[in-house]
Structure 1
Amino acid sequence: MNKILIFLIITPICCFSNVLDNTFAHYLENEGEIESSIIEYKRLLIDSSQIYNTDSIYIKVSRLNMRIGNYKDALYELNKLENNNKINNLKGISYMMLGDMERARNDYFKNDTLIGISYILENRFNKAGKYIDISNPPKLKNPYLGLALSMIVPGMGRVYAGRTFDGIYSFMLVGSSALSSYLYFRDNNRVFGYTYGVISALLYMGNLYGSYKACEIYNNYSIDVYKNNEIIKLKFSKWF
């Protein structure tokens, strides 16, 4: 009798571990139909023909919402559950991806890796290094130095920002228009002299602005690549 009772207790528990794997919702999830699978998982919550662990379904729905960037919906589902380390991590990640870093760190994260990742996403690499091992941040270009270089030699700021062809092209545009203005004035053709003078001045100003922006673009790209590499290295996706 005792053996039968133990069998009746253990069997549903063992079977439950893969009961969701046999659902249509799981099939849709594997096929990449995330939004449809979320709807199907929610339907299981009111399906009285099967015995499902509602907490597991809420967690599953939350994770799927996070995968497609619906962090507010994920939080809505997670708030239906009692807090534990797993739930707190998922809540913290959702708040972090919504931009509320302080709330994620102060109220939910107890894990150094997740705290470090939150600082990486804020570009606070020195702070992140206090919690996790990270590579040296990229060396950035100074936009004001790029601007100053292009004031001296048009296009030099773009070369400094790693855009050599753009720098040479900018130098040729500014230089050729300035030379044309000079030649027309030398020949007493003031109309074309002033025309090319104005064009040269506009190109020169554009060269300054372009050099400044080229440094910013270089920095943003370098930081994005660095952040992505560090987050991949830290296996951030495993948390959800």
Structure 2
Amino acid sequence: MRPALKSCLIVLLVALTLLAETCASQADDMKWVSGPSNILTFADHLYETRDYFRGISEYKRFIYLFPNEPRVGRANFRIGLCYQKSGNLENAIHTFREILRRDSSPEAARSVKYEIGKCYFLGRDYQKAGQVLGELNTDRSLVMAGWSMLRGGRYAEASGYFERAQNVRPGGYLSELSSKLSRESLEGEGILKNSPVLAAFLSVPLPGAGRTYCGRLGDGIFSFLLVSASYVAAYHYYDDDQDVAALGFLAAGLFLHTGDIYGAAISARRFNAVSEEDFLKKIENKHNLGSILLD
């Protein structure tokens, strides 16, 4: 064999050996990256760091590659949580319902239905949230159901849920919390509220009276002066036989007066909403309900 040819064969053999070792190493690396535990660990990392959209992709990749893996149910549950925490409540509810369709065990029903109830709560559908959570009959779910009714302005029903929660595990932390919430929720029945109808009627004979009734004295005085000035100007021009100007100021006065009547009713509703929100925030912050029930 010629020396040059022999050298070429040796170089080729060495190159092929190195290539084989490189491919084997890359295959091992790919196996590590694509292993079920590693994919799930990475997905969990994304979930913990609140990168929910990428987390959903990784959990779905895990389910697609390893459909018979025992941890598929956990991955599906985490997908639902990712949707929930990212605000995609419709997809979250759909995902949780699919889990229930596949797994009807009592353990799955409790945890998954609780998250469905949370989705309704976060979506401000407090009636549905209370219904779903109230059916679970756990202390945590009943407290959450009571909170839902509080948020929905149904204070007596909220107190009822809290009373039920007290008896699930007497002496526990949630039982003591429920006892306090049961009493405090009934205080919502005594929240000072203004009547939108009365506010509107007060503004009919006296512009600004409805806003003053709602505690907006400055707005009431401004409305009174503005509407009154329009009517006075209309009368002045009418008395001076300037009918066109009188008609213009009269129309302006009627327009402003109508707006004041409507604004008085809106002010009453806004006053009521602020009063209720202040009451709810006071209870929620006092007992730290968000961190206890939503985290």
TM-score by length of 2: 0.63
Measured against aligned partners, the alpha-carbon deviations of 1:159-178 in whole angstroms (never above 9, x if no partner) come to 22233332222111101101
- Structure 2 contact 150–280 (Cα < 8 Å) conserved: yes
Larger radius of gyration: 2
Q: Does 1:121 align with 2:139?
A: no
Q: Which runs of 5+ in 1 are unaligned?
A: 1-18
Measured against aligned partners, the alpha-carbon deviations of 1:101-120 in whole angstroms (never above 9, x if no partner) come to 46414644543202202212
Q: Does 1:60 align with 2:90?
A: no
Q: Which moved further from structure 2: 113-122 or 92-101? A: 92-101
* Structure of higher RCO (CA pairs closer than 8 Å, 6+ residues apart): 1
- Structure 2 contact 56–82 (Cα < 8 Å) conserved: yes
**Matches of 1:109 and 1:196 in 2, distance apart?**
65
- Structure 2 contact 117–132 (Cα < 8 Å) conserved: yes
Q: Which runs of 5+ in 2 are unaligned?
A: 1-36, 163-180
- Structure 1 contact 161–218 (Cα < 8 Å) conserved: yes
Show the counterpart of 2:46.
28
**Matches of 2:279 and 2:39 in 1, distance apart?**
37
Distance 1:20 1:90, change over 3 A: farther
Report how many residues are paired.
220
Q: Does 1:190 align with 2:220?
A: no
Show the counterpart of 1:83.
106
**Matches of 1:229 and 1:73 in 2, distance apart?**
32
Distance 1:91 1:31, change over 3 A: closer
- Structure 1 contact 177–196 (Cα < 8 Å) conserved: yes
Distance 1:46 1:191, change over 3 A: closer
**Matches of 1:123 and 1:62 in 2, distance apart?**
29
Local SS of the residue matching 1:140? coil
- Structure 2 contact 208–222 (Cα < 8 Å) conserved: yes
Measured against aligned partners, the alpha-carbon deviations of 1:206-239 in whole angstroms (never above 9, x if no partner) come to 1111111111122223334444554454524534
RMSD of aligned alpha carbons: 2.9
Show the counterpart of 1:104.
132
- Structure 1 contact 92–104 (Cα < 8 Å) conserved: yes
- Structure 1 contact 28–36 (Cα < 8 Å) conserved: yes
Distance 1:20 1:210, change over 3 A: farther
Distance 1:109 1:62, change over 3 A: farther
Q: Identical aligned pairs, as a percentage?
A: 23
Measured against aligned partners, the alpha-carbon deviations of 1:118-152 in whole angstroms (never above 9, x if no partner) come to 21232211221223313532322111121122123
Distance 1:192 1:20, change over 3 A: farther
Q: Does 1:69 align with 2:87?
A: yes
Show the counterpart of 2:118.
93
Runs of 4+ in 1 over 4 A off after TM superposition: 19-22, 95-98
Show the counterpart of 1:223.
276
Show the counterpart of 1:210.
263
TM-score by length of 1: 0.76
